Chain A
């Protein structure tokens, strides 16, 4: 099964030996935090699952408000394995966002964003933002009562931003309120605009990883360690991780298929105890903490400004953390990372159980 003629056909045209050398020479640092290296691979694998299942679903989905809900019901109830692909897409998205958050926090706590990897951090951060927007846009495609109300709340929240808020809200909704136009717009985002950006950013991210090599945490820098060859050792471990993740996603998709509520009705009141998706719960819970009016100003606007400032600080952290840039330990930023992590976890849990 070595296909010598095919191999020689390629080697006459392309420098395969050079690629083989590159793969053979690539090594991964071995240390006690090396498990963090697998989180990126898991996120990438889940992106692939999302792309495949999304493509399958798009063959049958009708992106028009009158038929959208019906077409999903048709996919779930009439198509062979339709329910499974939809469920796989749903759970794949949830686990992908979890993997991205874990990857982000590993990078943050291990200071992998430090010089010269700032662009890696930025591209990864934007990818997380895009993934969350993927989730929001995909959520509306269901066009059921809950999705409709949730998107109305989410886009309304964006409208609370001063100066640009109303523009963002109108841009997202395609009008004054969530309507069929919003569905068309979100569909365009979900299946063409966001995937294009995602593929580009993933390519940039992977290229930068190859360019800079794997980051080594400050605490293990300078220690005598033996690097592990990427192929086949780390690749095989990656495969194991992917198989287990695939098993988890398939199990969740089988045992907990996501429900579908009644078709969205703009006139109907929002369903009781409506909550956003889990990755928005910390925002939702934070907004609840703020009173309606603070010093005569809109409380929601102030809350959204503060949250935006917090996210912007996290985004620009490679520039603030000067000690890490110099290769020194920066305990302050480790604590900042830990506080961010706990705030996110606690608010999400409170939002979930309340």
Chain B
């Protein structure tokens, strides 16, 4: 009996895992939602990756092609339709950049209110579009700040080192200029900076 229940539990867990997929957390501890929010905000590599590198090489949810990423067919079809509608409503930008899974409406959220809202606004809003992300998304968090300074300790060390060298250069130059100024003052006081009118020339 115990063996039966254990087998049933294993089957249940496997089925659930197959249905929902395993918890997709990347090496930086970001879930698909977090990554997508980050990408949507920055359209750039997630924190922890070197600038220029994208998470798409390792994280399937980075791809805009849902059907190729092995997501459950039902989930894909449920989300793809509004995505297509949304894509069609916008210009080339969105279609080029793709609509990632987390950017799509989650359960309970529909495209209709967004479209209706869009229609009621002026050209600015209609051009910019109302992304599904503007709708309340369950579990959505505040978009993280964009890294405006190199994040790796090595790069930071180089930058701080350069700053110190830069200041040493400035201090050195200031000292040289001050020495030059003193020299000018000294020659000025001695009066040897003035040209004599009737100075004899040695030919």
**Which A residues contact B (CB, under 8 angstroms)?**
65-67, 70, 73-74, 76-78, 83, 86-87, 175-177, 179-181, 232-233, 236-237, 239-240, 243-244, 246-247, 250-251, 254-255, 257-263, 265-268
Contacts and interface: CB of A to CB of B under 8 A. Distances in A.
Interface of B: 41-45, 51-52, 93, 117, 121-125, 127-128, 130, 134, 143, 145-150, 159-160, 163, 166-167, 170, 173-174, 177-178, 180-181, 184-185
A83 B148 contact: yes
Given A70-B43, A250-B163, A77 B147 contact: yes
17 contacts: A73-B146, A77-B44, A78-B51, A78-B52, A232-B180, A233-B181, A233-B184, A236-B177, A236-B184, A239-B177, A240-B177, A246-B170, A254-B159, A258-B148, A261-B145, A265-B134, A267-B130
Contact of A259 (B128, B148, B181): B148
A78 B52 CA distance: 6
A73 B44 contact: yes
A247 B166 CA distance: 8
A266 B124 contact: yes
Given A74-B44, A77-B52, A265-B128, 11 more contacts: A65-B128, A66-B128, A73-B42, A73-B146, A77-B45, A78-B51, A251-B167, A254-B163, A260-B148, A262-B143, A263-B41
A247 B174 CA distance: 11
Nearest to B185: A233
A236 B52 contact: no
B145 A260 contact: yes
Q: Which of A74, A261, A262, A265 has the most CB of B within 10 A?
A: A262
A83 B149 contact: yes
A262 B144 CA distance: 8
A87 B170 contact: no
A262 B124 contact: no
A66 B93 contact: yes
A237 B181 contact: yes
A243 B124 contact: no
B125 A266 contact: yes
A244 B174 contact: yes
B180 A236 contact: yes
Q: Report the 10 A-B pairs with minimum CB-CB distance, sorted nearest first.
A: A179-B124, A257-B148, A77-B51, A260-B146, A247-B170, A262-B143, A262-B41, A257-B149, A243-B170, A70-B43
A258 B130 CA distance: 28
Given A78-B51, A180-B124, A240 B174 contact: yes
Contacts of A65: 128
B194 to A, nearest CB: 12
Nearest to A247: B170
Nearest to A86: B148
Contacts of A66: 93, 128
A310 to B, nearest CB: 35
Nearest to A82: B51
B17 to A, nearest CB: 34
Contacts of B122: 176-177, 179
Nearest to A263: B41
Contacts of B146: 73, 76-77, 259-260
